A and B are shown apart, each in its own frame.
Chain A
Amino acid sequence: MINTKTYKYYRDKWLSKRIPTAKSVQLSNRSIFILPSKMGIGFLVLCFILFLTGTNYQNNLILLICYISVSLFISAMIFAYFNLKDLVLSQHKQERFYAGSNSFIHIKLGQDNQQTSKNAFSLHFKIENQPSVSLDKLTDPCVVQIPTAHLPRGKHKQPRIKVYSNFPCNLFTCWSYVDLDIHLIIYPSPKNAVEALNTRSSLPTNESKHSLHGKTDFESIRDYQKGDSPNIISWKHVAKYNDRWVSKTFEQQVSVKHWLDYNAMSGDKEARLSQLCYLVTQQGNVEFGLKLPKQIIEQNKGQQHTQNCLEALALC
């Protein structure tokens, strides 16, 4: 008796040879598996009963119906195979999520070649132990969002994705396991660091006497002016005032440079990283640097910088 674990081990070993990891996978006869579905087996049983009835009553028409059903079964097999054949799967973009939130991977479907598009029906996508996602019909290249397991902070290699289809008539299940070498980067879950910081007098600031307590540090709102960074637009107020665009004004928002320091945080490692994560997301247009136990990110600002910092936190 083989238990599931050993079965999976050997299956994965075999699969990695058969369908190697690739950035983009085109399904072919090597990677497509096909077997009758439960209903397909039922259908075959029906064909057998029809055969028995036709034979026992020596009834040619019942035999004819039996043979028509069998031939439909065979042609359904061919159609099921061609439904998946040549389908190209690739990763849509690098995935980043905060720990504790729902995470997904996005797979681009279709053919690389834009000239011809691939027709496919009833596609289902699934990561083991997770709910599946269905795509009723594929005509143009499109992107599907497949839920993944809840993952802790870090970088996670994603398991193989099962692509399957019961088209046509649910007589066959045609499936493939693809490994697109997808890594999910899970940031720490952002935890409000304000309370933690309040208990301690020392603030992670060097050059500014103003604290940077997230939202609390803007003073007022003013009308939007051309050139304002999107980071300082008060979206909440925009929504409230309908069409009037307003920006937050920060005291001393210019030339405030500071460091976010791992050592300045409280709690265990994860708690500290969570707090840092929260602070990083709250920096807006402020230049900041990040000091981690084994890594220092120089002061900078902008979206790319924020992402770099978050990634560093995720991998810390």
Chain B
Amino acid sequence: MLTNKGNPLLTNSTSDYSSANIHHIFKHLPIQIATLLALITLSLFSSLYLWVIAVVLLLLTWQSQAWLAKAINSNKENQLYHPLQKWLQNVLALSVTALIAVEAIEKGMLASMVNLLFVATTLKFVGATQRKDHNIVLVLNVFLLATGFLFNQSIGYFIVIATLLFCNFILLASINSRALTIKEASSLIMKLVLLGLPIAALLFVGFPRLAPLWKLPNQQHASTGLSDTVEMGSIAELTRSGKLAFRAQFLKQSPLPQDLYWRTMIHERYDGKRWSIAPFRTNQSLINMPAFANEDADYVITYEPSFTKFLPVIDGGYTRHSSILSLPSRTVEHKELVTQKIQYYVKQFDEHPDKFSLTPEEVHANLTLPKFINPKTRELTKELRLQSPDTEQFAQHVMNLFSQKPFAYTLKPPLLVSYGNNQIDGFMFETKAGFCAHYASAFTFMMRLAGIPSRLVTGYLGGEYNQTQNYYSVYQFDAHAWAEIWIRGKGWTRYDPTSMVAPERILNSLQNALPSESSSIASNSFSLINYRQYAFINWLRISMNNVDFYWSRWILSFDAKSQNNLLEMLFNNKGSIARAIFVGIGLTVVLIVGFIFSRFFFANRQQSPVQLWIEDIRKIFPDLLVSQLNITPNQLLAAVELAHPCTKPQVLELKGIINSILYKNVRLTASTQRRVKRLIQVLKRQQKKTEMKK
């Protein structure tokens, strides 16, 4: 009975993984899925608990061994495959859940949810017996991979996750279509993704960006930005972080490097140990700033998540971003903690409304000091003040003090804790070594003693300039502290006492200012920034920086606002109708293209090899057979032989091969194919020779 014309793939099966295919399935797929899960575990390394990773990897290894044993002994009847025992699975699930719940108190809900989901997926996989289970695992994997982006959004990480996602889809295709080899499955998924990419791009650009639908608990994250309090020494750790703080692209001319003081926070309250933000600032009324178009902005900042509210701007900068407030202290503040990359356009104004006036509150806050502390400094200030009654003269005097006396700039200053509330005395007269925070707080302290309203400002100084794209990358180690004093007629004026000690810190970035004791800027020795003296590595780093810049600028901070701008640009209209038309037209085009595209995939347009050979031979002898289009291969070869008798041996051999394939059903092997190609080449050469003779 004829049921199957040489098709070995025909099977009669009713259930998943029929007995005929059970070896084929279990030999490869679970091992592959296990490998993928292990890779996903490693890719989420930073967001998973170490013990969870250990449990997952152990389970996977243990189970893989069972599958391998099963695959090897697949012909032995008694070697049955045992998934993880149900009761053991339940016990494991319960205990892991309990442990994660305990951790959740400390590490926050989000991380715990990811961990929990991860363990659940692994347990589901280890206990899987059917294709259905594997399907569930592979679908859950997509979510697991996506959660990685909650913790890391760099382009490198995106590539890793995208690759794993691709592998995940390949496995999804190959467990559901048994005939597909891994190679075929990957080409299938490649086609699906390529076909889908325009749709994905359209959705990304055109689908409305919604505001968060409900409030989520804040992510428990180590704050990496500037701290809202300054203690002598607390910035020391920050300066050693090579993390990017933000990037600023200047749309007009860029200022001189020594003017790049990115003001972020003002500290007006001093308690003898630390500087903090004055309480009256927290509920200040906002000031209205004139609106401006994005094109009129001076620069645009792409700010990395800092988990604080304060944003850096150059003094006098303001923004019209709807979620950013401009404060009377001339700083700008995000309405909520910055947990994602944000982008804002900044314009410098010429005349700040509060430039020449000071409220009584401000006067009070900027003159108040704890009584009786730092007696030596008080003494010194009194002396200096007597010498120079003019405010500016006095300030310059104090600045000079730092350059005249043997002060040193260091990121590893001696501890001042033993001085209690007299830390400034200890710094000024004993240790005489410190970094920006020390100099700035000593300076501000002395200004206040002299009756001059003054405050400590923290932010960033400088940045690394990228010439090709005209932007500055400002890193966490660019964090800086300086002072502002109130000068009648001039308003708040910046004084940076650090410049007196380490002028190169102001002109260059921090890397150059540091003495040899800390040649390594970033605490991570792998950071490429440590090798900036090598031209190639530096070039590589800067190129990677550029890619990352575009990544942040166009992908990560593409929000509702950018979306509207784009639509405005495309349609001169940002209404929802334009959006609907945009998405609609796009989707239609994509679907039409898809239909055509898939026809190519399913129509088997392959010509038989014989036809291809005949085509080739025809091309070699174009003048021979113009009139005869429908002739058999034999007729063609006979004509070739007639016209070029020297080709007789090749023609004879070709005839033999073609006839055996066409009429004797001889299978075409690779070696025959190679032989035919060689014969055709010989024909070509001979044709060329005869042409030369002519």
Contacts and interface: CB of A to CB of B under 8 A. Distances in A.
Interface of A: 39, 42-43, 46, 49-50, 52-72, 74-76, 78-79, 81-83, 85-86, 92, 106, 116-122, 131-145, 166-170
A55 B200 contact: no
A29 to B, nearest CB: 11
Contacts of A119: 601-604
A137 B602 CA distance: 12
A3 B147 CA distance: 45
Contact of B143 (A46, A86, A169): A46
21 contacts: A42-B136, A50-B146, A56-B214, A59-B150, A60-B556, A61-B153, A65-B145, A65-B165, A68-B200, A71-B195, A75-B193, A78-B591, A78-B595, A79-B192, A79-B601, A134-B18, A136-B11, A140-B6, A144-B3, A144-B10, A169-B172
A39, A72, A135 — which one has the most chain B CB atoms within 10 A of its CB?
A72
B11 A134 contact: yes
A62 B158 CA distance: 10
Contacts, number: 209
Interface of B: 1-7, 9-14, 18, 132, 135-136, 139-140, 142-143, 145-147, 149-150, 153, 158, 161, 165, 169, 172-173, 176-180, 188, 191-193, 195-200, 203-204, 207, 209-214, 216, 339-340, 555-559, 591, 594-595, 598-599, 601-605
A64 B204 contact: yes
A137 B199 contact: no
A75 B178 contact: no
A198 B149 CA distance: 87
B180 A121 contact: yes
* 6 cross-chain pairs, A with B, having the tightest CB-CB distances, nearest first: A71-B196, A137-B179, A136-B179, A71-B199, A61-B149, A170-B176
A163 to B, nearest CB: 15
Contacts of A54: 146
Contacts of B195: 71, 75, 78
A117 to B, nearest CB: 5
Contact of B193 (A52, A68, A78, A144): A68
A119 B598 CA distance: 12
Nearest to A135: B10
A170 B602 contact: no
Contacts of B180: 121, 137
Given A49-B143, A168-B192, A67 B200 contact: yes
A112 B266 CA distance: 82
Contacts of B6: 140
A4 B170 CA distance: 39
Given A59-B150, A72-B193, A75-B594, A133 B12 contact: yes
Contacts of A61: 146, 149, 153, 158, 555-556
Nearest to A42: B139
B600 to A, nearest CB: 10
B10 A75 contact: no
Given A69-B142, A168-B192, A82 B598 contact: yes
A82 B135 contact: no
B28 to A, nearest CB: 15
